[in-house]
A and B are shown apart, each in its own frame.
Chain A
Amino acid sequence: MYLYLNCIRNSMYRTREKIDKSIKILLEDLNNIALEDEIISDDEKAILDKINYELHNLQTQIMQILESDLDDDEFHDILKDTLHDIIVNVKIVADADGKITEDENKLLKRLQEFISGGIYNE
């Protein structure tokens, strides 16, 4: 939490490049987590696809807002809410069959870490 607050107050991170890079690293990381047992199950694939979709959407929306004249607190308030939506939306996919497996949970945990980190400290 402390790290998150620290990061979100640091405006030097509020750039398109930094956000793109963080998201790229996260996606690679998630793929590696899914591949730990050398098989990407259908459930894992559904989560990865959903995360991909949501992060792509985040990029489009946040990039528009990024260019608005916002102060950093406002920007990070919006970012925090948008990231929260991602967790909610991905959990819906993970829980679609009524259970969240250990492998699915690992992906969710990594996503949650990324989001709690304010997406910058990758």
Chain B
Amino acid sequence: MNEMVKKNKPKLQLAKILKINRETKDTHTLTLQLSEPFEWALAQFIMVQAEIDGKSVRRAYTISSSPTRKNLEITVRQTDTPTMSKYLNEREVGDYLNIKGPYGRFIWKVGMSEKVVCIGAGSGITPTRAFLQFFIDKKLEIPIKVLYSCSYGDNVIFRNELNELIDQIPNASYSLSITRDKMELDNVRTGRIDEAFMRTELTDWKDAYYYLCGAPSFVNHMITHLENIGIPKNQIKKEKWG
């Protein structure tokens, strides 16, 4: 559990960048030290505020580390026409960020479901990492399945880490789908996560809690597929960006 945590209304505060981990050519994980530590729940997000080119900019970032970990982390993919994402990816260890949070009710707690399925695309994998860390730290044996879709192999965020995390959870499985590259690698399929794939993958997962994250079009497609294979709406949670 994070040390010295306070449960308060979100307040703007400074957070020091303790570490920067390069995940892909355009994605970095920033490890932050909060000046006023707070408790966060799985998959909540923070708002980051900065002065960029003389103007105030504010953007949301999912907390990519589990609440069971000491430090809050965010994982930022730089977009094609970036503002904040470029600013964040240019920061250095020791720099400070203005942050406010945590926000969001997009949360899962032990006891909410007997199984969990995380489906993410692109940077929408950030909350899944927090889920997996949480399962490890809490020694949960609840089955968890991760379906991750990326356009190119080079864009896979947490490539090794996801495998390492999955290996530490007794009932976890992971499938990576690459949509635009031909990859001849173990455990990597090519093609989109479509309804046929979901039907086979999710036969025994009808009572799971589904957690979807990614671009709006991806998430909307996933919702349609899940509904078509009989997953009730109230078992589906979603977060969309991009």
Contacts and interface: CB of A to CB of B under 8 A. Distances in A.
Interface in B164-186: none
Interface string B198-242: 000000000000000000100000000000000000000111111
Interface of B: prevailing SS: strand
Contact of B100 (A65, A69, A81, A89): A81
Given A67-B240, A68-B106, A71-B105, A81 B55 contact: no
A5 to B, nearest CB: 15
A74 B9 CA distance: 9
Contacts of B58: 61, 78, 81-82, 85
**Chain B, interface residues (CB within 8 Å), range:** 20 to 34
A81 B49 contact: yes
Interface of A: 61, 64-65, 67-71, 74, 77-78, 81-82, 84-85, 88-89, 92
Given A64-B240, A69-B104, 10 more contacts: A61-B60, A68-B106, A69-B239, A77-B9, A78-B47, A81-B100, A84-B56, A85-B49, A85-B57, A89-B56
18 contacts: A61-B58, A61-B59, A61-B60, A67-B238, A67-B240, A68-B104, A68-B239, A69-B105, A69-B107, A69-B237, A69-B239, A71-B105, A77-B9, A81-B49, A82-B58, A85-B49, A85-B57, A92-B54
